[in-house]
Chains A and B, each alone.
Chain A
Amino acid sequence: MVRHTGYREREYFTMADLNALRDRTAIAGIGLSRFGKIFGISAMGFALEASRNAIEDAGVERDAIDGVLVLMPPVMGEQHGWASRVAAHLGITPSFCSTMDMGGATPIGMIQMAAMLIHGGMCSTVLCAFGCQNSPQGTLPMLFGSEFSIPYGDIGAITFMSHVGRRQMHELGLRSEHYGQIAVAFRAHAATNPAAQKRDPITLEDHQSSRTIVDPLHLLDCCLVTNGGGACIVTGADRARDLRQPPALVSGFGQVHSSEIIKPYDNGRGGGAEAAERAYRMAGISAKDVQVVQLYDGFTPLVVHELLAYGFCTPETVGDFLAGGNLGINGRLPSNTAGGLLSEGHLSGFGHVAEGVRQVRRTSHCQVPDCEISMITGYGGAPHEAPPTVAYTVAILRRGG
């Protein structure tokens, strides 16, 4: 019996098998629904609208879809058979169908699962979809948090991320202005995106004078509240080449659920670093090869956490990196080029998938020149529960010929 005792021994991991998956599947279609402060449309309605848009974008026959993966809709509690219901509304009879529940890590997790389903011969074409209505009819919204935090008024993702920010300020010497640089950069990108919820440029002064929500976070450190949906179509790379769009090859992916008790407050290495290492190794690249990244940006401290975890910065360099405006389109690491959750809107990561694909298609409104390699990240799980568990997902996309 092989005894696995810890982190180090996870080098066990069968990269040989995963390397065989490099560039073998592709995102062939992307679709977003209308999104924003839109009421009176259900989570299902948004999921269907986005799915149809993705099917049309890909130019795939609806009847070719034999796999359906759908994100558990937020704030509505458990919805039985959610993915099957989405499939039924679309007139699809899938041979594999599952509702997935990893919060903002789910879209990339679904792409990963789709790639494995296709590689394993279980499916040929997989629809990955999501819809969210934050003011659902007939459902009581759920509180995020555990019985060991909620009674103290520590409720929701924002309090967790405020703790993360506090620790970063303490350990890395960051100030609120560093976080402001993130918000300003992403808003400038959103200004180029006709669909973005927030398009008016902001300054560092605007960030500093925005009201405090949970100290140390200001309003402009926080993502938007969005009702809407997103979807994508994943299929084999060869099949994708016969469809309407240039394929975005799924070159690498990684997923880690880091369940240390309270430890996710620690910055730097951990589950995120391991997820990225897996994705880089599978794709045969390193962080320095990434030309553009869509970082899961629920709150600005999460961006700092990811810059460290994914190998873009060190604790010594991250402050200067941010102060230098390096997340902007002309910076060293153009990030969240559609505006991200902070300014485009919160589609639980499907906005990131869509923009990551546009970058390798070279159709972004905020295009990185000659883009060959684009990275997308997801973050979710249940960081606000006890014990906090964090799901990290990373995918590397490559421009397909």
Chain B
Amino acid sequence: MFQIDKPRPAITEDTQPYWEGTKQGELRAQRCRGCRHLWLPPAILCPKCLSEDVEWERLAGRGTIYSFIVVHRPQHPAFLEDAPYNVAIVELDEGVRMHTNVVECANEELAVGMPVEVVFEKIDDNVTLPKFRPAR
């Protein structure tokens, strides 16, 4: 049967350490060695001070739901069979925010401010997506 795959991230030199981290069960973000700013998504230089002296840091993988939505009418056919599915923006304890799905939780149970923790979902040999579940 004809099947449309879900879009996967294109891994580049800029983002490779992020995706390498998720494969190893680590959520990572970049921190500027100069001004100590922390950011996501990855970029080759610090958006605060433009320094390229950047290091990757392991995050605790804990945070709260900043926003969540439930998609009933997907914009891409590969997500049709998942609908209705949630997308959340999680604010991590370190202060950065990221898009994700909340798993192990009914959509009706989602709430702004809910504590969550990271889990890793292997998509293929290259890509492991960080997702979140209610904190235990």
Hey, which bits of chain A sit against chain B, CB under 8 A? Answer: 143-144, 146-156, 158-159, 162-163, 166-167, 170, 211-216, 261-262, 265, 386-387
Contact = CB atoms under 8 A, between A and B. Distances in A.
Given A155-B79, A166-B68, 16 more contacts: A143-B75, A143-B76, A144-B75, A148-B9, A152-B99, A152-B101, A152-B129, A154-B69, A154-B99, A159-B71, A163-B67, A167-B66, A215-B71, A261-B96, A261-B97, A386-B41
Contact of A155 (B8, B67, B74, B112): B74
Nearest to A149: B99
A136 B8 CA distance: 25
Nearest to A222: B73
Most chain B beta-carbon neighbours within 10 Å: one of A143, A149, A151, A211: A151
B93 interface: no
Most chain B beta-carbon neighbours within 10 Å: one of A147, A150, A153, A214: A153
Interface string B1-37: 0000011111000010000000000000000000000
B44 interface: no
B7 A216 contact: no
Contacts of B107: 215
Contacts of A167: 66-67, 112
Given A154-B87, A166-B67, A213 B41 contact: no
B10 A147 contact: yes
B69 A166 contact: yes
A214 B76 contact: no
B98 interface: yes
B55 interface: no
A149 B101 CA distance: 10
Q: Which 3 A-B pairs have the closest CB atoms?
A: A147-B9, A215-B70, A162-B69
B67 A153 contact: no
Contacts of B87: 149, 152-154, 159
Nearest to B70: A215
A153 B6 CA distance: 8
Nearest to A263: B97
Contacts of B75: 143-144, 155-156, 158-159
B59 to A, nearest CB: 14
B77 to A, nearest CB: 11
Contact of B72 (A148, A214, A261, A265): A214
B84 A215 contact: yes
A336 B31 CA distance: 45
